[in-house]
């Protein structure tokens, strides 16, 4: 392979965009890096510099993409492993800049080569350096969902970071890894690996790579359901959240079976795998684990899509569904496990919108001849077991029971009543009903809003608009109501 010719007279570039702090990028200092190789980014600062971001740029300064968007300025070195958006056969620089863009620095130009190419790593270390992977060993069998320890020994001088991947037995070098276990971790001889439940049974090997020329492969081992369970205990301080599925906790929304999960404290969840057991008894049963990575602050609630189900496949009577949170396999300590299971029939949401006759009137104001006033209360409630948010209601006057508004704005929205014709109920609790008062003036000639005629029948229409498919309602007929009135002579 021909090495890219790199001019390194601009090995260090410091740019100060404002008085105060400066950033100087000291590594990489040139050379070439293979895709998947460790390429630590180092920098120094002077003066006052806030949080920084690291970006990949073209030699001319054009932005390629972000490597990391926010770091403490003292986080150097940052353990970057060459990966997308970088591409083999291209040259780049690294830019480290303050998040407020007050100052920045750029590295020397370096080349990126294809994975497996010898290249010239920017931190090559000792040409005689080597890595020997000791675990997993020959004959090892590990179980999906377990925690295991990968170990290795090293000799010679080499980078302080390594990349760890899982590869298929007999895979050619050009084949992508099955799992990227760690894109950048300390080269300290061990790494705990949480094996995904979804990893297919088979024969694999682990590769630990410090640079394009220094790497080690484990013996071939097995992943199967009969393999060893976890040999590593969970974190010393497990995540302590009391997860609950509030209200009904599961519904059909936006074409998906959605479980609503709430973290009622005392600790926030951050990027943690939560396992759901989903089952459809009326479709033959056979519950299966679905893993979702969630981040839920204390007191917050999140809807988690579990499976897509076309609306045409949803029975009129709804679909019986069972779902539970498998915290026993998620390393979450929950003192209230009984609230983690729901067995209900989804698709039974009934949301209602109506205008009682006793709260509707049309009067003629003789103090101003030819002026009518329409007054009404619009009521909305639902029978779902959890809170609904952002229910959008539209009200307007029409010449027919299901007709178009008499007057609409340029974007097609009704202007009856002006400024109040469309309103959103931010929150509606289970079984709660709310009402919204509307009042609008009309004139027999001229004026604005639109003209009405004496002794003519019109209709006031109030309806729930679900443009976003926020909920599935098996009884949409009661999502609107109409009241007719005849203008006084």
Distance CA 226, CA 61 (A): 53
Structure tokens at 453: 């005629």
The DSSP symbol for 22 reads E
pLDDT band at residue 369, thresholds of 50, 70 and 90? low
Asked if 438 contacts 378 with a C-beta cutoff of 8 angstroms, the reply is yes
pLDDT in tens, 57-76: 998 888 888 888 878 888 78
Residue 147 or residue 5, greater confidence: 147
Measured in whole angstroms, the distance separating CA 371 from the mean position of its chain's CA atoms is 53
pLDDT at 124: 46
pLDDT at 233: 60
Mean pLDDT of 201-225: 90
Mean pLDDT of 314-326: 79
DSSP readout, 43-55? EEEES----EEEE
Q: Which of 23-32, 381-390, 415-424, 443-452 has the highest mean pLDDT?
A: 23-32
Distance CA 319, CA 489 (A): 54
pLDDT at position 235 over 60: no
Helix/strand/coil (H, E, C) string of 344-391?
A: EEECCECEEEECCHHHEEEEEECCCCCEEEEEEEEEEEECCCCCEEEE
pLDDT at 12: 42
The DSSP symbol for 411 reads T
- Mean pLDDT lowest among 221-230, 302-311, 437-446: 437-446
pLDDT band at residue 161, thresholds of 50, 70 and 90? confident
pLDDT in tens, 81-112: 888 788 888 899 999 998 888 899 999 888 88
Q: Which domains does the chain have, with CATH numbers?
A: 12-113 (2.60.40.10), 130-223 (2.60.40.10), 241-346 (2.60.40.10), 351-486 (2.60.40.10)
Distance CA 361, CA 358 (A): 8
The DSSP symbol for 414 reads B
pLDDT in tens, 476-489: 777 888 988 888 76
pLDDT band at residue 348, thresholds of 50, 70 and 90? low
pLDDT at position 202 over 70: yes
pLDDT at 150: 95
Asked if 342 contacts 324 with a C-beta cutoff of 8 angstroms, the reply is yes
Distance CA 120, CA 172 (A): 23
Mean pLDDT of 149-176: 87
Asked if 1 contacts 118 with a C-beta cutoff of 8 angstroms, the reply is yes
Residue 97, CB half-sphere, CA atoms under 13 Å: how many?
A: 21
Mean pLDDT of the chain: 77
H/E stretch holding 440 reads strand 433-443
Asked if 126 contacts 172 with a C-beta cutoff of 8 angstroms, the reply is no
The phi, psi pair for 478, rounded to 5°, reads: -100, 20
pLDDT at position 429 over 80: no
pLDDT at 6: 36
pLDDT at position 260 over 60: yes
pLDDT at position 379 over 70: yes
Burial 42-71 (b: 16+ CB within 10 A, else e): bbbbeeebeebbbbbbebeeeebeebeeeb
Structure tokens at 451: 């003209």
Cα separation values, 480 from 184, 216, 343, Å: 57, 68, 31
Asked if 260 contacts 246 with a C-beta cutoff of 8 angstroms, the reply is yes
pLDDT at position 206 over 90: yes
The DSSP symbol for 142 reads E
Mean pLDDT of 230-255: 67
Residue 349 or residue 360, greater confidence: 360
DSSP readout, 458-469? EEEEEEEE-TT-
Residue 176 or residue 3, greater confidence: 176
Helix/strand/coil (H, E, C) string of 2-59?
A: CCCCCCCCCCEEEEECCCCCEEEEEECCCCEEECCCECCEEEEEECCCCCEEEEEECC
pLDDT at position 185 over 60: yes
Is the whole-model pTM more than 0.85?
Answer: no
| Beta strands at 202-209 and 221-223: parallel, antiparallel or unpaired | antiparallel
């Amino acid at each position: 392979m021909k090495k890219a010719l790199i001019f390194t007279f601009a090995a260090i570039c410091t740019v100060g965009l404002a008085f105060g702090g400066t950033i100087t990028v000291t590594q990489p200092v040139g050379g070439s890096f293979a895709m998947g190789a460790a390429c630590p980014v180092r920098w120094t600062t002077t003066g006052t510099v806030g949080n920084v971001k690291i970006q990949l740029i073209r030699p001319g300064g054009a932005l390629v993409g972000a490597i990391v968007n926010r770091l403490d300025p003292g986080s150097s070195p940052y353990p970057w492993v060459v990966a997308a958006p970088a591409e083999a056969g291209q040259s780049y620089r690294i830019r480290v800049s303050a998040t407020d863009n007050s100052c920045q620095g750029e590295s020397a130009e370096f080349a990126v080569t294809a994975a497996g190419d010898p290249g010239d790593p920017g931190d090559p270390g000792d040409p005689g350096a080597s890595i020997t992977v000791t675990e997993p060993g020959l004959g090892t069998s590990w179980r999906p969902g377990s925690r295991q320890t990968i170990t290795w020994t090293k000799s010679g001088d080499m980078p302080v970071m390594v990349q760890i991947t899982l590869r298929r037995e007999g895979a050619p070098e050009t084949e992508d890894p099955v799992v990227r276990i760690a894109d950048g971790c300390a080269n300290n001889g061990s790494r705990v690996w949480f094996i995904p439940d979804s990893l297919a049974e088979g024969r694999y090997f682990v590769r630990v790579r410090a640079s394009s020329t220094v790497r080690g492969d484990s013996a071939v081992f097995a992943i199967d359901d009969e393999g060893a369970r976890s040999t590593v205990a969970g974190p010393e301080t497990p995540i302590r959240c009391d997860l609950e599925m509030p209200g009904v906790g599961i519904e059909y929304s936006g074409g998906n079976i959605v479980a609503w999960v709430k973290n009622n404290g005392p600790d926030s969840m951050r990027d943690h795998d939560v396992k759901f057991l989903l089952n459809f008894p009326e479709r033959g049963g056979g519950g299966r684990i679905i893993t979702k990575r969630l981040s839920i602050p204390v007191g917050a609630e999140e809807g988690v899509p579990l499976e897509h189900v076309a609306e045409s496949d949803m029975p009129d009577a709804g679909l019986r569904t069972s779902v539970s949170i498998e915290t026993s396999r998620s390393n979450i300590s929950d003192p209230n496990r009984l609230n983690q299971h729901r067995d209900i029939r989804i698709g039974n949401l009934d949301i209602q919108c109506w205008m009682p006759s006793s709260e509707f009137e049309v009067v003629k104001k003789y103090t101003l001849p030819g002026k009518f006033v329409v007054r009404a209360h619009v009521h909305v409630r639902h029978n779902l077991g959890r809170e609904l948010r952002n229910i959008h209601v539209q009200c307007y006057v029409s010449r027919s029971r299901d007709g178009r508004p008499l007057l609409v704005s340029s974007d097609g929205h009704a202007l009856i009543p002006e400024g109040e014709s469309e309103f959103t109920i931010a929150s509606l609790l289970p079984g709660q009903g709310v009402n919204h008062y509307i009042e609008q003036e009309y004139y027999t000639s001229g004026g604005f809003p639109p003209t009405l005629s004496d002794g003519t029948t019109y209709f006031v229409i109030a309806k729930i608009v679900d443009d976003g498919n926020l909920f599935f309602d098996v009884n949409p007929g009661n999502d609107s109501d109409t009241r007719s009135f005849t203008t006084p002579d």
